[in-house]
Structure 1
Amino acid sequence: MDGLLPIGAFSRATLISANTLRAYHESGLLEPAVVDPRTGYRGYRVAQFGDAAVIRHLRELDVPLAAIREILAARDPEVTRRLLAEHRDRTLERAAHLERVLRTTGELLDAPEMVTPAAVIERVLPPVRAFTITREVAEDDFAGFLGEAFRQLTAVAAVGPPGAVFPAEYRDEPVPVTAYMPADDGPTLLPGGRFAVFEFTGPYREMTTGYRSLGAWLAGTGMAIAGPVRESYLIGPGDGVPEDRYRTDICWPLHLTEK
């Protein structure tokens, strides 16, 4: 294979392991110039050093393989800038999420009482008539869906406060989420009954503390979640207050478990 480097030498020259080069070949990201059909022996050209360097540097930045493949295929600075900007935005979102995780973890370590059942109240809530919009939604899209749904529902009925209904069991995949706006002539009847209620104050992204309190309260009570849970947004984005003053009732319907 004149003018070619075997995979070992190409690996040393590019500082990319042979195993990784084989994976890049299988995924179509960086294919050898020649593959011997009899032995499977891979040969690379010196001209491929450039692509290898681009791949190595972008992988050090955790750029996804699909984006790198698009960059190499386009060989267009505008495409590269666009894809790197998208990757930067995703990285900033992950960094913000990690910061919230670290902050919450620190708070739990400093104050374990945050997961105690304080402030959970049992209430009998009446049925609620409402206009509703239901859609299959992934968790990352909850806020976008609810914001748009509430804008549509407000045009029909603005009795409030608005709310949302979620499945009793948390799932990773998209789930049916119902946005609702109470109204005396609403076509949907949300059932009443016995609920455990936690009134959470603060930004929606920190509302997991309310769910933890409800879970801690529920443990050992002899009760279980009877159906879909509700969030009632008493004070929120349309009320002209900062996020730390948002108020949300998290409501879990209850029933006694059989012993």
Structure 2
Amino acid sequence: MTEDARVDDELLTIGAFAARARLSAKALRLYDRLGLLAPAHVDELSGYRYYRAGQVERARLVALLRQLDMPLARIAEVVEADGAEGAGLLAAYWADVETRLAGQRTLAEYLRGRLSGRSSEMYGKFVVETVDVPARVVITQSRHTLADELPAWIGASLGRLEAAARECGGVTAAPYVVYHAEVSMESDGPAESCVPVADETAARAWAQEHGRTWETGVRVEPAQRLAYTRITKAQVAHPQIMAAFEAVEQWIAAQGLRQAGPCREVYFADWDAAGPEDEVCDVAFPVK
């Protein structure tokens, strides 16, 4: 019996199956090892793998999905799903890919500007001003987070804090996020969401009750001067926001000032209601 011969009415040798699936035997062994396509039968004595003709479509589908650089766990979900569900899973994956690629294109353009010496041109698009803010009581939530998780965490944490503010005399100023260290795909901060509230005693009682569960806290921030630039919802996205931070840093140095604390994003507008070109955020540094 040759390698290409049929073993019985249902099973194919790995060579015959590979020919039908238009894949190599090496690829089929890899898919088996990865848990994506197991043989229908493995001979206990010889170790030979046998497949059913009905597995051809799955084999071809796995090969095509791997060409999309889809993670193995996602491939397994797609091939196990029925047609409509599988198509939906693929659509969701590809939407994530296109979002990532769009961000990378923007980042590449930003980096080209820096490398070509056009940084001052980019920074010139931002108007930097200063504002004096009074001392205030803030309730906070902190987390170590990478850049891809940051937007979702900011929305969720500020939502929790704004709801909690009802127990603390109400919100007295725009919420903001403080970055105590860099947040990127390699560095996880931490970041700290802050909501100013009216009642310090109630705020401390709330923080004591929820501190361990939510990593919450309360403090009195001193009066301070902020150097800031106002940006739109579209500019909040990475890496546009990096240019805004760098523009403020450059302005601070040019004015002979020095940074007096960690940078922050102050969200003064209704994020959900805002359009891409609506101003929603101040990128700011405390200065002296």
Correspondence for 2:163: 152
1:128 aligns with 2:158: no
Given residue 173 of structure 2, which amino acid in structure 1 is its aligned partner? G
Correspondence for 1:49: 56
Pairwise CA distance, 1:162: 1.6
Higher strand proportion: 1
Correspondence for 2:269: 235
> In 2, distance between residues paired with 1:143 and 1:101?
22
> In 2, distance between residues paired with 1:87 and 1:221?
52
1:18 aligns with 2:13: no
> In 2, distance between residues paired with 1:219 and 1:23?
56
Alignment partner of 1:178 out of 188, 192, 206: 192
Correspondence for 2:84: 81
1:99 aligns with 2:102: yes
Are the counterparts in 1 of residues 181 and 189 from structure 2 also a CA contact under 8 Å? no
| TM-score (normalizing by structure 1) | 0.70
1:201 aligns with 2:234: no
Alignment partner of 2:181 out of 168, 171, 176: 168
> In 1, distance between residues paired with 2:24 and 2:258?
53
Structure 2 gaps of 5+ residues are 2-6, 204-218
Aligned-residue sequence identity (percent) comes to 26
| TM-score (normalizing by structure 2) | 0.65
Structure 1 gaps of 5+ residues are none
Pairwise CA distance, 1:25: 0.8
Given residue 180 of structure 1, which amino acid in structure 2 is its aligned partner? C
Deviation track 1:97-150 (CA, whole Å, cap 9, x = no partner) reads 433543565577576411469644577755432233445553242343145235
Correspondence for 1:65: 72
Q: Structure 1 residues 71 and 201, CA, compared in 2 at 3 Å: closer, same or farther?
A: closer
In terms of mean alpha carbon deviation, does 20-29 or 64-73 score higher?
64-73
> In 2, distance between residues paired with 1:217 and 1:21?
59
> In 2, distance between residues paired with 1:217 and 1:20?
57
> In 2, distance between residues paired with 1:220 and 1:39?
76
1:244 aligns with 2:277: yes
Are the counterparts in 1 of residues 183 and 190 from structure 2 also a CA contact under 8 Å? no
> In 2, distance between residues paired with 1:36 and 1:29?
20
Pairwise CA distance, 1:24: 0.9
Q: Structure 1 residues 46 and 222, CA, compared in 2 at 3 Å: closer, same or farther?
A: farther
Secondary structure, aligned partner of 2:195: strand
Given residue 24 of structure 2, which amino acid in structure 1 is its aligned partner? S
> In 2, distance between residues paired with 1:47 and 1:211?
57
